[in-house]
Structure formats: structure tokens, C-alpha cells
Structure 1
């Protein structure tokens, strides 16, 4: 028991240090929620295979801190106003759950085609008492802003090619919405393909991210429907 507490304490120290490096201010309840989420992810992963990363220390850097690195850019983009965010192919809830914890004013829907993954998100929402988080078992192509299932931000993390991501989720964007695609290295080839195969999409910023404790390149590709695009 004491050993488990020691591991948890060490993980919390890494998280707090990472938040400081990222310049993010979070309350103790928010930090507790992130640690509880990480614990749930580890436990459910043994049965439901939510993520290929299984080492707790790697989960902290590769998942939690990696997702937290996107918080400041997201807030800079949308401000602290109520917005609807869709996390496509969310899997175990990354970055959707992290966004819901860090930004309680953002209503997060994590959509996945695998029912057990959507069920996990629902369990996380209940356990952490997050009214702004829900899991949805559906194909993103089935969501339509015209039927009320629309979003101000549609995000993904290592989900699919940029072309597939925007084409599959285009119908779920509210007017003025943006796409937020979290990627590893600068996706030059994907961007070239996007320009050729999705001319109605404008890339307005490729933002480099720095993830504490992770020696790997990360970036966000920000996109929006081009204003001159014909519906």
C-alpha cells in the first residue's frame, strides 16, 4: 500500500512539475482528477486495451503531459467562453478528458467507433464528476451540425491523416469552427496532400509544442473551412 502511494506521489510530482513548465495553473482538485484519470486508464487498459502505452511513467509523459501541452494554445484560440469541442477517435480520452478537466467551460464530447471506449469515457465523467464530458459511440461522419450535433472545435490526436480527419468531420463544424489536429513531426507531406485533395480547407497555423519530459517533436495543425469554399 505504501509503495503504491509512493508511486502515486512520484507521479503527482512529475505532473505538478510539468504543469509549471507549461505555465498552467491548476487547482488541487483538478490535479487530483488528472491523477485519478490516469489510474482509471491504467486499470481499464488491462481489459479494454485503450492504449498501447502501459508503463505508468510513459503514460504520464506520452499521454497526460502531451495532452496538457495543447491546453494553452487551445485557450488562446477559443478564449474562456463556453464552446463545444469534439475529440475524434478519442480512444481512452486523449486529449478530450484532459481538456474537460483543465477547461471546465469547454463542453467535450469524445467520439469513438468502439463502444467500450465510449463507455470508458462515460465512466470517467461519472467518477470525476465532470458535467462537461461525455462519451459518444458513433462514427464522426454521422454527426451533423444541421441536426444540432455541431461543434466549435473539432480535435484529434494521432487519429488519421489530415485529409481523412477533415473530410470525415466536416459536417460536424458550426460556422466559424476550427480543426485542431495534434501531430508529431511537422507533417509536410500530409499538408501537401491536404492542399491537393481538400482545397476547401485552410491551414492557418502550424504550432510547435514542447512536452515536458518528452524528447520528441509535437505540433498542432490549425485548420478551418476556407472562406471562398463552395458548399
Structure 2
């Protein structure tokens, strides 16, 4: 491995240990293979504004894995809305091969990249769907719906309401705690928990807001 890849592997391993996430050596290798694909495709497809691979380890891989305990406590079928370059859906699909993850995005370039990731990493538990969220109608509700900087909480709830039910956990990954957005939540949604996330190597605040339907 090159020095850069060695450095990223060490950074990832240290970050995973700091998060307290259970991750095998093979899974770490898959995460680094995903990172390499993200770096390669980002040059042409503009998947993320982050260009430095070292920075991607903390801001994309470790940030995605920081919500792992809340996914582990949920059900089997998860939806990543507005997945973009695959965060947090791809890292979570690598970490939880026994669960199913649907990655939804309306952008064809991004879904082509995600399909390539699925094929190259052999992620049989991952499904890629190109669609606008309001036009997506799966046969059964998802156990969990996650978004990472996708939209306001009100839009997240309104646009995905039809994709879940009273048993669904909505996980919104945010920076600072969005008190103004919480005030604008639709009446049939409530905040169940707000967790302060500590992401190794990330500057600034990170919060996870868990929403539930009330009716």
C-alpha cells in the first residue's frame, strides 16, 4: 500500500475504535475500497465537495458510522434518502450485511456511481433506486429512514411520510441542533431523541435527531 493508503487505513481503524463500533478487518478493507471509488469517481461526477481523501475518512466514513448504534437497534430494512455519494448508506451496508439498505437519489450520475459501488464491493444487501422521493412507492414501510444533510426536518418528514409508519425510526443527521427546524415539524411527527455525536477528526457539532410518527 502507498503511504497515503496506509495513513487512511490507520485513521479509519483509530476512528472506528474511538466510536466503539464493531468492524472486522474485511469490512475496514471494504470501507477503504469504497473510499477509493469515491475519490476516483468524484473527479468526473462531483459526488462530494470534499476533495482530500484523508478528510473523507472522517467527514464521510466515520461520520456515517457514528449512527451505527441507532441503526443496529432498529429493524432490517433501511432507506437512505438523497444518498448522493452513498453516505451514510454504503458504510452502513458494509457494517451490517444482515440488514437491507435502499439508496435513493434522483441524480442519474450519482445512482450510476452507487450501482458501481454495489457491483465492485459485492454488496448484495444494497439496492440503488433512481427516483424522486415523492414518486418512490415501495411495497412495505421501511423500519428506518435516514438522511444526511438532505433537507429541512419538515421537508424530510413530509417527503418521506408515505415510506414509513408508526414503527419507523426517522434518523436525521445534522450539524448544530436545528431548534428552528424542530419548531416547524409537521403535527404528526415528534422528536424522540436528540443525540450529540462525536466523530473522530470532525470539527464542529454533529447531531442525530430521531423522529417518530404519532398517527
Do the two structures share a fold, i.e. TM-score over 0.5? yes
Matched, 1:103 2:96: yes
- Pairwise CA distance, 1:64: 0.8
Residue-by-residue CA offset, 1:29-61 (whole Å, 9 max, x unaligned): 100000000000000000011111111111111
Matched, 1:162 2:159: no
- Pairwise CA distance, 1:149: 5.2
Residue-by-residue CA offset, 1:83-113 (whole Å, 9 max, x unaligned): 1111000000000001100111221111001
Matched, 1:192 2:180: no
Matched, 1:122 2:119: no
Q: Residues of 1 paired with 2:166 and 2:69: CA distance?
A: 23
| CA RMSD, Structure 1 to Structure 2 (Å) | 1.2
- Pairwise CA distance, 1:175: 4.7
Number of aligned residue pairs: 215
Partner of 2:86: 93
Residue-by-residue CA offset, 1:115-160 (whole Å, 9 max, x unaligned): 1111111111111111011211001111235xx0531111100010
8 A Cα contact 2:166 2:212, kept in partner: no
Task: Return structure 1 stretches of 4+ with deviation > 3 angstroms.
Answer: none
8 A Cα contact 2:165 2:213, kept in partner: no
Moved more, 115-124 or 169-178: 169-178
Name stretches of at least 5 consecutive residues in structure 1 with no aligned partner: none
Partner of 1:222: 210
Partner of 1:18: 15
TM-score, length-scaled by structure 2: 0.96
- Pairwise CA distance, 1:174: 4.3
